[in-house]
Amino acid sequence: QGVSVSALQMLAAYNAVANGGKYVSPRLVRATIDGSGAEHPADAAHTRRAVSDSTASAVTAMLEEVVKSGTGTLAQIPGYRVAGKTGTARKPAPGGTGYIDGAYVSSFAGFAPADRPAITAMVMLDEPTPIFGGLVAAPVFSDLARAALRELRVPPSLTAMAVTPPSNSVNQQVVRGDGDVPASSTTASTAAVPCCSKR
């Protein structure tokens, strides 16, 4: 938890995995429209190779397992393969020394469909109850991604996840905590940041 990143930085890292290892710099504006109504496209996003395609594929497979049967089962979307990871991080104390007792940032970051990504999104919740990202952020990701996939008319995965969260998945996650590697701490408040990706 000693390294802090913003939600957008974390989202860009997941987006690189979704893009087969290619980093694409995030941008908020696709084009501008001048006073006469003419559209001016924004400059092309900067891209570079961050990791190899084989590394990105291996990480994607691991992230899919998190959603299939790990701490991220509540991020599943019927008919789509989803890749992502939960996070639960302590909030840093003011002044940069130590952490605030009982204060957490919970998150879920991922992309869908995992077999041919169309969207990458991250959900961060500031001091939620319960604290675990798999319980509070993963379901928000599922709702957000489902709506985005429908809006973008992305067809279902060719080989969708044939799994259903176990009926006691919530209890399992509470008992197990939120995985063995917490996400990096940030001071972001509740946020959901969608970002498109294409291989």
**pTM score > 0.85 for this model?**
no
Q: What are phi and psi of 72, to 5 degrees?
A: -105, 25
Domains detected in the chain: 7-27+41-196 (3.40.710.10)
* Token pair of 95 as six digits: 């002044």
Which one, of 8, 14, 92, 118, lies nearest residue 56 by Cα?
Answer: 14
pLDDT at 160 over 90: no
104 exposure class (CB count in 10 Å sphere: 0-12, 13-18, 19+)? buried
Which one, of 101, 197, 192, 102, lies nearest residue 147 by Cα?
Answer: 192
pLDDT digits (tens, 9 = 90+) for 128-154: 999 999 999 999 999 999 999 999 999
Res 146: pLDDT:
97
pLDDT digits (tens, 9 = 90+) for 24-81: 998 889 899 999 999 999 998 899 999 999 999 999 999 999 999 999 999 999 999 9
125: β partners:
106
